[in-house]
């Protein structure tokens, strides 16, 4: 863990006990987050992206077991810096020291994450009164400040509103204000805009980015929308079946992806310039993690799968200092395989378009 | 061009809020859908797109305006014959397949319900065969008929929803945000399936969505809705290649591209009706060329097109 790393998830491995059996949902995940940067985790539903972040935020369900791994967090308190493993803290300690104050979370659906029976102003102040050691007047002043920060006009008046009196975009702004009330270092956004319209989505993403620049936050996005990732992320982790299969900075992932799964995700996204008759879709569905996958978990859906994919799990192959991918295609002995020609043409176009801006 | 399958003329849908107040969800929307084509309706939440779909299929009774479907007026009081015709020929796919499928019914019965009601199958064997054929058409297998909705994944459930809508061979299918709840790669599967089925059966789609990139991909023509008004309509090329209305432009600017260098520098265009000073109720549809029309006053039209 170097000086600038604020959070490091190290070889995290989690399984869940269910009636059907043990589900091995997270199978050795590594994620680095540097101070002030934005990391995105992309993947389909059930790939484990939310579970990973819930482990970081200490919100794991009771039937979860951490088999191994660490979540190291560089905690700066009272001028002192120390590295703590969040998984060793008790729930009580996490609540008291970490949640809200250092690590905050914004959830997908603002209607279910807000209390419908409490005015929003009170909800924003709640954390500050209980943990922040502020008196009512201070908390109110701070709440007003936060509401202005997240772009809610006429804050004094709107503090008294209930969540149902706000539109979806405004509600999400309230949730962001609550998340920021404890002055955290890390903001985890779990699909923050999936429930919102495109126009409002763009505004919320721009808002989070603006706040990040002003407050020096580090942000983790969990999403399945690659368009969102392109807009906000510095680094991208592509997750599949409880594993990170490709990691790189945003340009490496979008202009030079190496893993067939990333190819599939990118191809499945209709872009406004493609006129193909059929959209590419990744065949099949993600594996059921009740049964431990043998070899590469993606092999069954991978048109480029080789015999070794059925036998051994690929390690992370290094492409550049920041770019790694777990596919046997990158092994020096593997046949040279190119990405699908349609995708290649599309990426070529994207790169050309990008050059105009640089 | 041949006769339109569905003709919506000046449709208005109001809901009473209290004794004095009326909420105007749809304010005089007109459009046409031709047999075998896909018409996309886009707009933000609250723009009235779902209301239009529901008014057309007569889940609501339209306040004003006429809707003609396959030569018959379906906006007024329905007699038995028209109602049967409407129920058989217009079907709907809903947004959330988990809440639109009865959890206590087997998938085979969910799909076969339409056959039972309209007496399409002569006997049990024929019904089973028709359901099995439909299941295979949507990429599931005949054995799935014996399962319950919770035993399927999200994408498979939406396939069941599609099978249910298509079993009566409707002429028009209203797809109300039918892919919004699905993952990107599953969205692609479902959209491809819808396209394949359209090629086979020549049914028309009214595709309601807020995701412009998917709408572009599936639609032949598009209508942009805002606050209950159809602000712009035209072919997909018109809307995406030459958007005129500031709201359409702001919608297009908000679509995120999978292109980080471009995306990081782009700021979405803000559009606010009050700030822009546009009064939709004053505007009339101005035709640019062919099917491309914009709701505007003469002055606005001159300003936007210059």
Rounded to two decimals, the pTM is 0.85
CA-nearest residue to A288 within chain B is B153
The Cα B236–Cα B73 span in angstroms is: 28
The Cα A311–Cα A294 span in angstroms is: 6
Contact B254, A201 (CB under 8 A): yes
Task: Look at residue A272 in the predicted model and tell me its pLDDT.
Answer: 65
Q: Helix, strand or coil for residue A224?
A: coil
Least Cα distance to A1 among A70, A99, A104, A92 occurs for A70
Counted across chains A and B, CB pairs separated by less than 8 A come out at 129
| Secondary structure (DSSP) of A9-72 | EEEEEEEEEETTEEEEEEEEEEEEEETT-EEEEE--TTSSHHHHHHHHHT---TTEEEEEEEEE
B211: distance to nearest CA of chain A, Å?
7
- Mutation site for B-interface testing, chosen from A281, A288, A346 by largest number of B Cβ within 10 Å: A281
Answer whether B213 sits within 8 Å of A230, measured CB to CB: no
Walk across the sheet containing B221-226 and list its strands. Answer: B90-93, B172-176, B204-209, B38-42, B221-226, B229-235, B292-296, B284-289
Answer whether A271 sits within 8 Å of B211, measured CB to CB: no
Q: Where are the beta strands (DSSP E) in chain A?
A: 5-18, 21-34, 38-42, 64-77, 80-85, 103-106, 186-190, 218-223, 235-240, 243-249, 317-318, 324-325
Tell me how many degrees the CA angle A40-A222-A48 measures, rounded to the nearest 5.
110
Q: Which residues contact B253 (CB under 8 A, 6 or more apart)?
A: A202, B266, B268, B269
Distances (CA, A) of A258 to A146, A203, A307, A310: 42, 32, 19, 19
Residues of A in CB contact (< 8 Å) with B are 44-45, 167-168, 197-203, 206, 224-231, 233, 250-251, 254-255, 264-266, 268-272, 274, 278-282, 285, 350, 353-354, 357-358
**Residue B20: exposure state from Cβ atoms within 10 A (0-12, 13-18, ≥19):** exposed
Residues of B in contact with A282 (CB under 8 A): 185, 188
Answer whether A278 sits within 8 Å of B240, measured CB to CB: no
Residues of B in CB contact (< 8 Å) with A are 44-46, 153-156, 183-189, 191-192, 195, 210-214, 216-217, 240, 250-265, 267-268, 270-271
What is chain A's Cα-based Rg?
Answer: 21
Q: How many helices (H) and strands (E) does chain B have?
A: 13, 12
More confident residue, B275 or B232: B232
Phi (first) and psi of residue B139, to 5 degrees:
85, 15
Residue spans per domain, chain B = 6-305
Answer whether A254 sits within 8 Å of B258, measured CB to CB: yes
- The pLDDT tens digits for B142-184 are 889 999 999 888 888 999 999 999 999 999 999 998 888 777 7
| Facing residue for A357 by CB, picked from B189, B261, B271 | B261
The domains located in chain A, with CATH, are: 5-233 (3.40.50.300), 239-355 (3.40.50.300)
Contact A136, A83 (CB under 8 A): no
Crossing angle of the two packed helices A120-130 and A168-180, in degrees rounded to 10: 10
- The pLDDT tens digits for B89-127 are 999 998 888 888 999 999 999 999 999 999 988 999 999
Phi (first) and psi of residue A125, to 5 degrees:
-75, -25
What is the DSSP-derived secondary structure letter of residue B149?
A: G
Q: Quick one: tokens of A23?
A: 């589900």
The Cα B194–Cα A245 span in angstroms is: 31
Task: Look at residue B302 in the predicted model and tell me its pLDDT.
Answer: 86
Residues of A in contact with B214 (CB under 8 A): 270
Beta bridge partners of A72: A8, A85
- Mutation site for A-interface testing, chosen from B140, B155, B259, B276 by largest number of A Cβ within 10 Å: B259
Q: Which residue has the tokens 């009865």?
A: B102
| Facing residue for B251 by CB, picked from A198, A265, A269 | A198
Q: Which residues contact B274 (CB under 8 A, 6 or more apart)?
A: none
Residues of A in contact with B44 (CB under 8 A): 197-200
For residue B1, name the pLDDT band (cuts at 50, 70, 90): low
Q: Which residues contact B248 (CB under 8 A, 6 or more apart)?
A: B224, B231, B232, B239
What homologous superfamily does CATH list for B6-305? P-loop containing nucleotide triphosphate hydrolases (3.40.50.300)
Rounding to the nearest 10 degrees, give the CA dihedral for residues A145, A150, A156, A160: -120
For residue B85, name the pLDDT band (cuts at 50, 70, 90): very high
ipTM at complex level: 0.77
Contact B96, B178 (CB under 8 A): no
Contact B161, B110 (CB under 8 A): no
Task: Look at residue A225 in the predicted model and tell me its pLDDT.
Answer: 85
A286: distance to nearest CA of chain B, Å?
10
More confident residue, A197 or B64: B64
Residues of A in contact with B268 (CB under 8 A): 199, 202-203, 206
The Cα B80–Cα B47 span in angstroms is: 32
Contact B118, B170 (CB under 8 A): no
Q: What is the pLDDT along chain A (358 residues), one digit of tens a residue?
A: 778 899 999 999 999 998 888 999 999 999 999 999 999 999 888 888 889 999 998 888 889 999 999 999 998 877 788 899 999 998 888 888 888 889 999 988 888 889 999 999 999 999 899 887 889 999 999 999 999 989 888 999 999 999 999 888 889 999 999 999 988 999 999 988 887 888 888 888 989 999 999 989 999 999 988 888 999 999 999 999 999 999 999 999 999 999 999 999 988 887 766 666 677 888 877 888 888 888 899 998 888 889 999 889 999 999 999 999 999 999 998 888 888 888 888 888 888 888 887 6
Task: Look at residue B9 in the predicted model and tell me its pLDDT.
Answer: 93
A124: distance to nearest CA of chain B, Å?
26
Answer whether B260 sits within 8 Å of A280, measured CB to CB: no
Beta bridge partners of B271: none
The Cα A213–Cα A103 span in angstroms is: 17
Q: Quick one: tokens of B251?
A: 């919608």
Least Cα distance to A290 among A9, A70, A10, A18 occurs for A18
Phi (first) and psi of residue A172, to 5 degrees:
-65, -35
Task: Look at residue A288 in the predicted model and tell me its pLDDT.
Answer: 84
């Amino acid at each position: 863990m170097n000086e600038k790393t604020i959070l490091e998830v190290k070889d995290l491995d989690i399984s869940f006990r269910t009636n059907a059996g043990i589900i091995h949902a997270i199978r050795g995940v590594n994620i680095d987050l540097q101070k002030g940067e934005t990391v995105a985790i992309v993947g389909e539903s059930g790939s484990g992206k939310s579970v990973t972040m819930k482990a970081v935020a200490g919100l794991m369900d009771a039937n979860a077991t951490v088999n191994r791994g660490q979540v190291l967090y560089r905690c700066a308190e009272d001028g002192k810096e120390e590295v703590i493993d969040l998984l060793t803290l008790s729930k009580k300690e996490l609540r008291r020291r970490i949640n809200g104050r250092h690590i905050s979370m914004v959830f997908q659906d603002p209607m279910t994450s807000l209390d419908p029976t409490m005015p929003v102003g009170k909800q924003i102040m709640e954390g500050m009164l209980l943990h922040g050691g502020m008196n009512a007047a201070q908390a109110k002043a701070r709440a007003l400040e936060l509401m202005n920060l997240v772009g809610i006009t006429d804050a004094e008046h709107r503090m008294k509103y209930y969540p149902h009196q706000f539109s979806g975009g405004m509600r999400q702004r309230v949730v962001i204000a609550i998340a920021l009330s404890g002055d955290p270092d890390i903001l985890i956004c779990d699909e923050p805009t999936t429930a919102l319209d495109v126009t409002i989505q763009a505004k919320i993403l721009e808002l989070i980015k603006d706040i990040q620049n002003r407050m020096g936050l580090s942000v983790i996005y969990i999403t399945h929308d690659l368009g969102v990732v392109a807009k906000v992320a510095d680094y991208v982790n592509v997750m599949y079946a409880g594993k990170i299969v490709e990691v790189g900075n945003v340009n490496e992932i979008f202009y030079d992806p190496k893993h067939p799964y990333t190819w599939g995700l990118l191809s499945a996204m209709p872009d406004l310039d493609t006129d193909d008759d059929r959209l590419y879709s990744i065949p099949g569905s993600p594996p059921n993690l009740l049964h431990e996958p043998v070899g590469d978990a993606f092999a069954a859906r991978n048109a480029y799968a080789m015999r070794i994919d059925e036998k051994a799990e690929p390690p992370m192959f290094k492409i550049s200092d920041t770019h790694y991918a777990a596919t046997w295609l990158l092994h020096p002995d593997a046949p040279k395989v190119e990405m699908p020609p349609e995708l290649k043409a599309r990426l070529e176009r994207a790169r050309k378009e990008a050059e105009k801006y640089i | 061009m041949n006769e339109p399958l569905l003709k919506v003329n000046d449709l208005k849908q109001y809901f009473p809020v209290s004794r004095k107040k009326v909420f105007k969800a749809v304010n005089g929307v007109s459009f046409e859908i031709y047999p075998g084509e896909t018409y996309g309706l886009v707009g933000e939440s609250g723009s009235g797109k779902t209301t239009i779909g529901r008014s057309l299929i007569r889940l609501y009774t339209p306040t004003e305006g006429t809707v003609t479907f396959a030569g018959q007026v379906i906006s007024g009081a329905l007699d038995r014959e028209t109602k049967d015709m409407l129920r058989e020929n217009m079907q709907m796919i809903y947004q959330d397949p988990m809440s639109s499928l009865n959890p206590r019914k087997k998938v085979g019965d969910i799909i076969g319900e339409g056959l039972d009601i309209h007496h399409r199958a002569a006997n049990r064997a024929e019904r089973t065969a028709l359901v099995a054929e439909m299941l295979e058409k949507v990429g599931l297998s005949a054995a799935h008929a014996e399962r319950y909705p919770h035993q399927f994944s999200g994408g498979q459930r939406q396939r069941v929803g599609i099978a249910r809508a298509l079993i009566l061979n409707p002429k028009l299918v209203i797809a109300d945000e039918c892919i919004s709840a699905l993952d990107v790669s599953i969205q692609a599967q479902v959209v491809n399936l819808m396209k394949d089925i359209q090629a086979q059966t020549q049914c028309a789609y009214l595709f309601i969505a807020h995701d412009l990139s998917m709408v572009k991909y599936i639609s032949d023509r598009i209508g942009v809705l805002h606050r209950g008004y159809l602000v712009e309509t035209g072919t997909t090329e018109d809307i995406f290649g030459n958007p005129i209305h500031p709201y359409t432009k702001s919608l297009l600017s908000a679509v995120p591209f999978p292109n980080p260098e471009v995306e990081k520098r782009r700021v979405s265009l803000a559009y606010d009706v009050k700030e822009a000073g546009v009064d939709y109720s004053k505007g009339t549809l101005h035709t640019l060329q062919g099917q491309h029309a914009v709701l505007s006053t003469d002055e606005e039209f001159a300003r936007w097109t210059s």
